[in-house]
Chain A
Amino acid sequence: MRRAKLNMAHDNHVQLDDNIQIGSEATDFGKKAFGIGGVALVLALVLGGGPFGREFLIAYLVAFMYSLAIGLGLLWFVTIQHLTNAKWSVVVRRVAEIIAANMSVLAVLSLFLIVPALMGNSTLYAWVDPAKVAADRVLKHKAGYLNIPFFAIRCVVYFGFWWLLSRHFLKRSVEQDTSGKAEINTKLQTLAAPSMIAFALTLTFATIDFVMSLDPGFFSTIFGVYYFGGAVACAYSFLALSLMWLQGKGRLLNSVNREHYHDLGKMMFAFGVVFWSYIAFSQFMLIWYGDVPEETHWFHDRFQGDWKIVSGALLACHFVIPFFGLLSRYVKRNRKTLAFWAFWILVIEYVDLYWLVMPTFGEDVIPSVLSLLVHLLAWVGVGGLFIGAAASRTKGLNLIPTKDPRLAASLAFENP
């Protein structure tokens, strides 16, 4: 249990009287998470028919996009805090940086999806199969973009960029802990601007490649934004829960207080409820109103049979209920209620991704117990590995950027 104390007068930085390192508790937890994740993933592989099995690939896609959402959402969070020179969030930013830095793990995990595609397995993506492409007018047209070599290059660009950016943010931030240089903030702010552009483009095209191209006939210009809204919601919820877990272990008790949770709650409300619903409604209503068959079939798939219930559940549980739930400021300032809604958002986002992927394959909502099992195992598998990596990465790192010049403002932050 190490306490960090910095002398204020000496180097003009704030006096921090708090436990800001997690040590072996996190790494132990990380090992456990890794273990559970690994076992779950192996089970999913076995039950799902192996790495090229249909059950496995579908379940893995949903699970992977879910963890990717958390990672990308947190990467976006870190970028925007730097871009806007935000003061309130300094206290929570390091934890976000640490989790986001696991883009490397996600890059490796993406191979389960990319390699089968590169090898021509068209279970998920019809466009990897030249025979299917030749037989379909639509796929033939899109072959200029949806082809294996270009896809491979794009994946390298996506994961490469995300990996390098997240690593850079963490590295520089940690460097500031020792050097205390304020110019690091300015440099990161300058970097954040073009990074945001690249982020928007990579996230959009990754979403198109991995999710929208499942149904090659479908197209929607807002699709990337839709995934982005959900990703940011997941990120804020996950961040809130991570901070609560750390505080449960006795860390950051004096630094992260209800003002910060209030702000995280506001963001969960703004992105997870308001923004997501706005984008989802825009997409749905415009396609419904125009009634153009090229687009409506995608929604038709999601209103067939029992999928109607899931769609209704998304409306109720992603918008109506959390809208009233997260409206009150007291809910956002209370750790227990905020944790409840954070879990709620994380679960409903999984349902959202499930709803995005599954209907394309013409399946029932839950085709079989085995299918459900594979889905849950994949979710736990990928998630466990991701969380395990994040937990392990905390080793030796301060959980707060101790020499960030804005730290004092962050500690003293109060919501009006």
Chain B
Amino acid sequence: MATTAPDYDKWYDPPKGDNELARITDTVIRVTEVSRPPVGWYIAFAIAVTMLGILGMSIGWLFWTGIGVWGNMHPVVWAWDITNFVFWVGIGHAGTLISAILFLLRQSWRTAINRAAEAMTIFAVMCALIFPGIHIGRPWLPYWMLPIPNQMNMWPQFRSPLDWDVFAVSTYFTVSLLFWYVGLIPDLASIRDRSTTTVRRLVYGLFAMGWRGSSRQWHRYERAYLILAALSTPLVLSVHSVVSFDFATSQLPGWHTTIFPPYFVAGAIFSGFAMVVTLLVPARQFFGLKNIIEIHHLEAMNKVIVATSLMVGYSYGMEFFIAWYSGSPYEGFAFVNRAFGPYYWAYWTMISCNVIFPQLFWFKKIRTSLLGMMIICILVNVGMWFERFVIIVTSLHRDFVPSAWGYYIPTKWDFLTLTGSFGLFFTLFLLFCRYLPMVAVAEVKGQHSNSHAGH
């Protein structure tokens, strides 16, 4: 009996269409039109959902029993919870950078990757927002951080960086979501117009808002998009700066240093780009998008990775130098302790993964090698997680008075919660790949047309 070939096989066939524009549309949208995704997607989704379940379980147990299930203890009162928060927020920033800042800098190579990057931003920020929410000990009270009139006549402490975080990260989430959605509207319209079933047409049509591509509407759309990009740029700089303020406004050696805002932003861009590369290398392979997301796009991202690696390295160097220069024995000790104290293994992991390995991207062969970039980018993410860990834990575990020193050891619930957060991220990302266009179709078509037309 002849079996019909699964329709995801056609992802590897040339796309339908008698002109390049039609082929671009078909390449991307046919991925969302298959009735069944490949087995690989199901397997990945099963793993991701399991990890999501682990997250749910970890959070449930945490809420029921309390923060004591984690390893947090004086003096290390912030540990994996905040490390994970900053880690995920940092990863989110690449999406906005690719969308907004590269748009402002007129880098047309962004159009192949910005949709996936923006989606990644939103999912990463969702993962990030979990951690401050669950780490507060009385998780039924986070609304106290918002200015809601209450019977105690109290208002939030607006002078606290932790409250700034609430506003910054929620603004970032909202604006990123809106920016992503606005970008999606024309592509959802494309899906709607290709729909063969009523349900599909109605669902995609609802979210497409009735977009038909009117030039008068495009005019306002373009202005809004440009201004959103112009707003998102300072927004992304401000969000990670506000996150860095959580530390820098304190007086702790290793935390209280003025370079934190731009240093954190550079680090965020660094880890975010690495995550985008890590996601796109397999995605373009499995979803047949190699002709749209090309090696030169990945190469450009790797160049940004090496540039931001150097910025991060510069910041490490400056902190170290000024720690000595300041003459403060606490500052000096903090940095010597980082390198040679009980957490030296974390520090050197951080240095090698963040500063040393990315330098391999100076070599074109490695920059354009899919395996090479996967390895280095995963190492970069590991290194950036360790950077946040080093900053938080080493500064806390030995601060001013030796009688207050301690050593932090994570518990299994710390591990499970971090693992679970990856589950949330990948679940959402896999759903995105399945149901939404992974490439900004209208933008790629526009760029193709405008660059071929000349003037």
Footprint of B on A, CB under 8 Å? 88, 137-138, 141-142, 145, 193, 196-197, 200-201, 204, 208, 219-225, 274, 278-279, 282-283, 285-287, 289-292, 294, 412, 414, 416
Interface of A: prevailing SS: helix
Q: Are the CB atoms of A290 and B455 closer together than 8 Å? A: no
Q: Are the CB atoms of A221 and B259 closer together than 8 Å? A: yes
- Residues in A whose Cβ lies below 8 Å from that of B237: 278
- Residues in B whose Cβ lies below 8 Å from that of A274: 234
- Which of the residues A221, A285, A291 comes within 8 Å of B257, measured between beta carbons? A221
Q: Are the CB atoms of B261 and A282 closer together than 8 Å? A: yes
Cα A292 to Cα B257 in complex, Å, equals: 11
Cα A341 to Cα B26 in complex, Å, equals: 49
Q: Mark B234-247, 1 if CB is under 8 A from A, else 0.
A: 10010001000100
Q: Are the CB atoms of A225 and B328 closer together than 8 Å? A: no
B251 contacts the other chain (Cβ, under 8 Å)?
A: yes
- Residues in B whose Cβ lies below 8 Å from that of A208: 325
Q: Are the CB atoms of A290 and B249 closer together than 8 Å? A: yes
Q: Are the CB atoms of A282 and B241 closer together than 8 Å? A: yes
Interface residues of B in 316-333 (CB under 8 A from A): 317-319, 322, 325-328
Residue from A221, A289, A416 with most neighbouring chain B CB atoms (10 Å): A221
Interface residues of B in 172-199 (CB under 8 A from A): none
Q: Are the CB atoms of B258 and A282 closer together than 8 Å? A: yes
* Given A286-B245, A290-B250, A204:B325 Cβ within 8 A: no
- Which of the residues A142, A278, A285, A292 comes within 8 Å of B256, measured between beta carbons? A292
Q: A208-B325, A278-B261, A416-B222 are in contact. List 16 more A-B contacts (CB 8 A).
A: A142-B327, A197-B310, A204-B318, A219-B325, A220-B322, A221-B259, A224-B318, A282-B241, A282-B261, A286-B248, A286-B249, A286-B258, A289-B249, A290-B250, A292-B256, A294-B326
Q: Are the CB atoms of A294 and B319 closer together than 8 Å? A: no
Q: Mark B298-325, 1 if CB is under 8 A from A, else 0.
A: 0000000000001000110111001001
Cα A59 to Cα B318 in complex, Å, equals: 29
- Residues in A whose Cβ lies below 8 Å from that of B234: 274, 278
- Shortest Cβ distance from A414 into B: residue: B455
- Residues in A whose Cβ lies below 8 Å from that of B327: 137-138, 141-142
Interface residues of B in 243-298 (CB under 8 A from A): 245, 248-251, 256-262
Q: Are the CB atoms of B245 and A219 closer together than 8 Å? A: no
* Given A278-B237, A282-B241, A294-B328, A222:B310 Cβ within 8 A: no
A194 to chain B, nearest CB (A): 9
Q: Are the CB atoms of B262 and A279 closer together than 8 Å? A: yes
24 A-B pairs whose Cβ atoms sit less than 8 Å apart in the complex: A137-B327, A141-B327, A142-B325, A197-B310, A197-B314, A200-B314, A208-B325, A219-B322, A221-B318, A221-B319, A221-B322, A222-B258, A222-B261, A274-B234, A278-B262, A279-B262, A282-B258, A282-B260, A282-B261, A286-B248, A287-B258, A290-B250, A416-B106, A416-B222
Footprint of A on B, CB under 8 Å? 106, 222, 226, 234, 237, 241, 245, 248-251, 256-262, 310, 314-315, 317-319, 322, 325-328, 362, 455
Cα A187 to Cα B361 in complex, Å, equals: 18
- Residues in B whose Cβ lies below 8 Å from that of A223: 258
- Residues in B whose Cβ lies below 8 Å from that of A291: 251
Cα A290 to Cα B241 in complex, Å, equals: 16
- Which of the residues B250, B262, B317, B328 comes within 8 Å of A222, measured between beta carbons? B262
Cα A282 to Cα B249 in complex, Å, equals: 10
Q: Are the CB atoms of A290 and B326 closer together than 8 Å? A: no
- Residues in A whose Cβ lies below 8 Å from that of B251: 290-292
Cα A47 to Cα B89 in complex, Å, equals: 57
- Residues in B whose Cβ lies below 8 Å from that of A290: 248-251, 256
Q: Are the CB atoms of A286 and B256 closer together than 8 Å? A: yes
- Residues in B whose Cβ lies below 8 Å from that of A283: 258
- Residues in A whose Cβ lies below 8 Å from that of B362: 193
- Shortest Cβ distance from A263 into B: residue: B106
B268 to chain A, nearest CB (A): 15
B304 to chain A, nearest CB (A): 10
- Residues in B whose Cβ lies below 8 Å from that of A138: 327
B36 to chain A, nearest CB (A): 41
- Residues in B whose Cβ lies below 8 Å from that of A222: 258-259, 261-262
- Residues in A whose Cβ lies below 8 Å from that of B261: 222, 278, 282
- Residues in B whose Cβ lies below 8 Å from that of A224: 318
Cα A282 to Cα B264 in complex, Å, equals: 12
A342 to chain B, nearest CB (A): 21
- Residues in B whose Cβ lies below 8 Å from that of A225: 259, 262
Q: Are the CB atoms of A221 and B258 closer together than 8 Å? A: yes
Q: Which 9 A-B pairs have the closest CB atoms?
A: A221-B259, A222-B258, A289-B249, A141-B327, A222-B259, A282-B261, A219-B326, A220-B258, A221-B318
- Residues in A whose Cβ lies below 8 Å from that of B248: 286, 290
Cα A282 to Cα B250 in complex, Å, equals: 13
Q: Are the CB atoms of B259 and A145 closer together than 8 Å? A: no
- Residues in A whose Cβ lies below 8 Å from that of B310: 196-197
Cα A414 to Cα B241 in complex, Å, equals: 33
- Residues in B whose Cβ lies below 8 Å from that of A201: 314, 317
* Given A197-B310, A222-B259, A412:B455 Cβ within 8 A: yes
- Residues in B whose Cβ lies below 8 Å from that of A220: 258-259, 322
Q: Are the CB atoms of B322 and A286 closer together than 8 Å? A: no
B408 to chain A, nearest CB (A): 24
- Shortest Cβ distance from B332 into A: residue: A141
B296 to chain A, nearest CB (A): 12
B172 to chain A, nearest CB (A): 16
B329 to chain A, nearest CB (A): 10
A89 to chain B, nearest CB (A): 12
- Shortest Cβ distance from B237 into A: residue: A278
- Residues in A whose Cβ lies below 8 Å from that of B258: 220-223, 282-283, 286-287
